[in-house]
Structure formats: C-alpha cells, structure tokens
Amino acid sequence: MGSLNYSTAIYDKNLESSITIIGSKGSVKVGGQYMNEVEYCHIKDYEMPVLKASNPPNDYGPYKGSAANHHYIIENVVETLRNKKIATTNALEGLKVVDMIERIYALREEKHVSKNHR
C-alpha cells in the first residue's frame, strides 16, 4: 500500500521532496529540498553509515532543480556500452517508471473530468 502526493504549483523553487518507507523491521525517510538527505533511518540490525555530502542542485538560472546526479547515469550507460560495467537500471525498470507516471496522469484526468461533470 502506498500514497503519492505531488504538486507542480510551488512558487519559485522546490518546497521539499521526500520518500518514506515504513516496514515491519524499520523505517527510512529520504527528503530535503532536493531529496538529498537521509532524514530518518531506524532499521533492525542496521547502522546508518556516514554519507558523503550530496552534489549541489542543478542550476537553471532563476530555478534550482534536483541534486545534480544525471552524470552518474550517463557515465554508467557509456561504461556499459564499452562492456566495462553492468547497467544499474535496465529497460524494464525504466518502463515501470513510465507506467507509473502514465497511471498518475490518467487518474488526474479521470478526477478532473468527473469533477467538471458534477
């Protein structure tokens, strides 16, 4: 079971991004303005390591975006094509993300249509 809340209407900058996972043996929350901080980690038999500081946010002029990490993905693709590494994310995983986004948009449209036909 899960819950997803999002907005594209925040004025001027990211307000906050986060993901919280709650399980029977622990919980973790990754958040912060750029989803770049482990804000909570309490998992049975696990000690949270000290993490390196995250990369600075992408700078789009008047807008600052998520932490600049795309170069890691591009580097992995190049190294995989050169047969030096294995792809960290395969096409099936990418399709799952696209499917999730399409379902979100479909539900949004469904609610928008039903709200306007009352």
What is the model's pLDDT at position 57?
Answer: 77
Cβ-count burial of 58 within 10 angstroms (0-12 exposed, 13-18 middle, 19+ buried)? middle
Which residues does the chain have with pLDDT short of 50? none
Q: Give the Cα separation of 116 and 49 in Å (integer).
A: 50
Q: Give the Cα separation of 46 and 44 in Å (integer).
A: 6
What is the model's pLDDT at position 18?
Answer: 84
pTM, whole model, 2 decimals?
0.57
115 φ, ψ to 5°? -70, -35
- Extents of the domains making up the chain: 1-68, 70-118
What is the model's pLDDT at position 44?
Answer: 97
